[in-house]
Structure 1
Amino acid sequence: MSKYTSDAPSYSGLRRIALVSSSLLVLSVASGCSSIDRLSQIGEKPKLAEIENPTAQPGYKPVQMPMPKPEAVSYAPNSLWRNGSRAFFKDQRAHQVGDLLTVTVNITDQANFANETQRSRTGKEDSGITDFIGSKTITQANKILPGRLLTEDSSSTSDGKGSIQRSESLTTSVAAVVTQVLPNGNLVVEGKQEIRVNYEIRELIVAGIVRPEDIQSDNTIDSTKIAQARISYGGRGQITDIQQPRYGQQVMDILLPF
């Protein structure tokens, strides 16, 4: 009686191969389109994008920002001016929701810390019985009763050192929007700036609370005068991805106790 054997792959194996092949095909097509476009532009000058209506582009979304409440227009008798108008006699600095002001970010931070801790401790315990009811005269008692009942020595030493050296510098400007006016007149501002160079995006975010009195006549304010300041400067893109460790490595760094 012979047993039939076959080297042909099973149905589940064929299905797995098909799934892997389809995935590789999709990835190759997605990357292939970009590669073909780049190959077709070899030796050619980069083409400028045509001027088009941005609102007609796919994915366009209108911008929605906080706006002040509309004011009813009223004219005073024998006056050429109306309320709410921006005049040369009116303060042009930001003071209501929706106004813009320029935040000058100027951060120069240096810090040096050095700590050292030393600890040493030594302890010794010793107790015994030299003569217990004439035990020295009895031969068998000397064998039973030890000369020293308890002897203990302990010693511990620790030495810890730590140092921190940090130097940071950032100088830039960003326009912010007044998003809220607090009951005491202070302004809540928030600004965001994104700059894309090739395949890397640098972004700057500034948010906090400012006093209208600290806003200068040119409608600018220094970042050191922003309360509850939140300043973020970083980037995202190919360079940032390369500088970051892989997700698997980050997970192992968190989970491994060694």
Structure 2
Amino acid sequence: MWSSLYRVLLIAVVSLLGACAMVPPEPVVVGPLTAPPPAPMPPQAVANGSIYQPTAYGNYPLFEDRRPRNIGDIVTIMIQEKTNAAKSVSTNTDRSSEAGMGIGLSPAILPGDLGSRQNFEAGGNNSSKGTGSSRADNMFSGTLTTTVIGVMPNGNLQVAGEKQIAINRGSEYIRFSGVVDPRSISGSGTVSSTLVADARIEYRSRGVMDEVQTMGWLQRFFLNISPF
């Protein structure tokens, strides 16, 4: 009985450790990634010979362009991110001090302890030097088509989208979200990511290539409890 209980307990512990073997990274893009389903279509308008039918889906006023402005419209994001940061620190201090006193001759009427035995010399120095440097270079380019998921009171568009690519046993996905000013969208429906406010870009991968870059659970355990 006890052997069976130990066996079940061992299997449970191994299962828990296996579940902790892969810790998924914290997502950067949160919230919906596409527009909600459209509401039911309203009743069709009676044909009256008018060119513009306000109740027909996808109709725009005659004198407006086709730039996205409604929920569900498509906006293509041209990802052109490039950041360079560098920092260098150097500190150098030096301090030295010296003191001395000597008695060559003393009158005989003075005690002998005030003679040459009172000579002394003292000296000291202190120096410190420290240097440090840091540099980071990042570049990310690509194209991702997103969907308008919301329209703000001032007319700005909340966009979000995702692209997934699966190759053999591995997969990759790109997620994007942000706020776009409709005036910055070109006539072809594209906008640069540098013109998107609150931009969040996430590029992840799943599969063997991602697993080999993840530290094992036992190594992470000893790393967390190690005092060094």
Q: Which runs of 5+ in 2 are unaligned?
A: 15-33
Q: Given the alignment of the two structures, is residue 177 of structure 1 paired with residue 111 of structure 2, yes or no?
A: no
Structure 2 CA distance for aligned equivalents of residues 15 and 146 of structure 1 = 85
Mark the CA change 1:183 to 1:227 in structure 2 (over 3 Å): closer, same or farther. same
Q: Given the alignment of the two structures, is residue 120 of structure 1 paired with residue 93 of structure 2, yes or no?
A: yes
Q: CA deviation at 1:99?
A: 2.1
Task: Pick 1 or 2: higher relative contact order, CA cutoff 8 A, min separation 6.
Answer: 2
Structure 2 CA distance for aligned equivalents of residues 20 and 227 of structure 1 = 51
Q: Given the alignment of the two structures, is residue 156 of structure 1 paired with residue 127 of structure 2, yes or no?
A: yes
TM-score by length of structure 1 reads: 0.61
Question: Which residue identity lines up with residue 16 of structure 1 in the other structure?
Answer: Y
Q: CA RMSD in A?
A: 4.2
Mark the CA change 1:152 to 1:74 in structure 2 (over 3 Å): closer, same or farther. farther
Kindly provide the CA deviation profile for residues 89-142 of structure 1, in whole angstroms up to 9, marking residues without a partner as x.
4533211223222222233x26363625140312325376969xx899223577
Q: 1:207 aligns with which of 177, 182, 206?
A: 177
Kindly provide the CA deviation profile for residues 53-111 of structure 1, in whole angstroms up to 9, marking residues without a partner as x.
xxxxxxxxxx971758988977797625321533484533211223222222233x263
Match of 1:35 in 2: none
8 A Cα contact 2:145 2:161, kept in partner: yes
Q: 2:217 aligns with which of 247, 252, 258?
A: 247
Q: 1:166 aligns with which of 124, 134, 137?
A: 137
Structure richer in helix, relative to its length: 1
Radius of gyration: which is bigger?
1
8 A Cα contact 1:68 1:98, kept in partner: no
Structure 1 CA distance for aligned equivalents of residues 133 and 203 of structure 2 = 28
Mark the CA change 1:94 to 1:136 in structure 2 (over 3 Å): closer, same or farther. farther
Match of 2:201 in 1: 231
Structure 2 CA distance for aligned equivalents of residues 211 and 257 of structure 1 = 51
Match of 1:83 in 2: 54
Q: Which runs of 5+ in 1 are unaligned?
A: 1-10, 25-62
Q: CA deviation at 1:190?
A: 0.9
Match of 2:68 in 1: 94
Q: Secondary structure at the match of 1:137?
A: coil
TM-score by length of structure 2 reads: 0.67
Identity, in percent, stands at 20
